[in-house]
Amino acid sequence: MSETTALTMMASVPKEDLVDLTVPEPGGRWAFLFLWLFTVAIFARPEDIFPLLGQLHLTFIFAGCAGIAFIGALVSGRMRFFWAPELKITLLLTGWYAVGIPFAYWSSGSLQIFVNVWLKTLFIFLLLTQTLLTLGRVRALLWAIILSELAVTGYSLTQSSRVTWVGERMLGSNQGILGWNFLGIAVAITLPYIAAIFVLRCSAFKSLVLVAAVLSMIWMLMLTASRGGVMNVVVSVVLTWFFVLRGSSRGRIVGAGIVLALALAIGLAPQVLWQRLQTIWGDTDIYASQVAASAEESKEDHLSVLVRSLQYTIERPIFGLGLGNFQVASGTELGQPSAWMGTHNTFTEISSEGGIPALLLFLSLLVCAIRNVGRASMSLVSCPESTELQLMARATRASLLSFAFGAFFAHLAYEYYCFYPLAVAVGTQYVAARYAPFASRALPIPLSSKHLPQVAC
């Protein structure tokens, strides 16, 4: 059949499909560049190592430049606003948080968290959903996160005498997501993407970087002796195997390597980790140990704040206590220094501070992203050219499920970090929607490469 006939058949494809497919590169290049720099700044937090950098307010500068570049591209017509379902749900959640401020336990404190924390997270998530619309940008963003994690954990390990320790537990150089109890969530979220990049047969140098990142992050996790973090990473490895690795021989080799690295790290872990892990099962033989006693006390504290957060949820089921007000209400009412602590559970943090409707919106956000990215992966099953896109979609499912598990052990409801895999989910869905209409149609002759988005590694 002639090329003219094939192009005639292309005319029968719905116009909205052709518009998205024939756009080689969405706008917002400068906005994405500044978002990439912002990502490095919040994950690596260079000001924790070089305090003078804190005076430059890098995150504010990069986020501001990204916003200005985005508005400029939008006004000039170089890009269109993309109303992703995940963004709509997040905006609804924002509206609910705002409506609940007058009913908060401490209204001015709730307003402060809403403006200074949540709106910043919303702003970055909005920009990510508008710019993270090519596979190349998804890849670049993931490398920014991986390299930041390698830099922070590598520095903490090599400069262990200069970083902060709490007893026998390493706190590390980073006071953000890569420090102490949050490190396990960061590793669990990133591990599926590292596995996916491995399966794609990257260069020898990149493979060495990925190996170094995995080993560095896992070993530092052992030194933090975080029980929830270790369990979170184990769950992430299982999810990564199921969604990313088990479908290919190379994937199975990569999976075996990750399991071996994790097993060796746990086997060589310091005694403090083993003592803390044993408290999960309540082994009375170890209570003579001061470390184990401290770990048991920590477990009881976490259980008590969990119970109080559930009580507050029942007492204030509609609007909750207000953003950031749980520890204020708990500490004030109990009058104990130990009561001034967070919920250590993202879901009860939202239910106790934002009400049950806010929790339902947050759960629907996670379910929507997991379901939609799964559908995007399934739509490309019959298309061998979309291997990287499929792997990224599957890795995103594993990443989001890993976060959902880790969210039971940390309160991160209003922070940036869980919104990064959510943004990657939006980006992979967008690219899949551009690619799938042609992938599912059997044209008599192959189309020119200019008609298809680039999905190769």
- Name the pTM for this structure: 0.86
Is 133 within a domain? yes
- What residues in the chain have per-residue pLDDT under 50? 1-24, 284, 286-288, 438-457
Measured over the CA atoms of residue 278, residue 279, residue 284 and residue 290, the dihedral's sign is positive
Is 245 within a domain? yes
64: tokens are 């501001």
Is 360 within a domain? yes
Structure confidence at residue 331 (pLDDT):
84
Residue 423 CA to residue 126 CA, distance in Å, equals 9
Q: Is residue 188 a contact partner of residue 258, using CB atoms and an 8 Å limit? A: no
- pLDDT per residue as tens digits for the range 396-431: 999 999 999 999 988 899 999 899 999 999 999 998
29: tokens are 């290049």
What is the span of the domain harbouring residue 222? 83-451
Is 8 within a domain? no
Is 44 within a domain? no
Q: Collapse the DSSP code of 102 into the 3-class scheme (helix H, G, I; strand E, B; otherwise coil) and give the result.
A: helix
Is 429 within a domain? yes
Q: Per 3-state DSSP, what percentage of the chain is helix, strand, and coil (rounded to 5)?
A: 75, 0, 25
DSSP string of 115-161? IIIIHHHHHHHHHHHHH--SHHHHHHHHHHHHHHHHHHHHHHHHTTT
Domain count, the chain: 1
Structure confidence at residue 294 (pLDDT):
54
Structure confidence at residue 25 (pLDDT):
55
Is 41 within a domain? no
Structure confidence at residue 287 (pLDDT):
46
Is 175 within a domain? yes
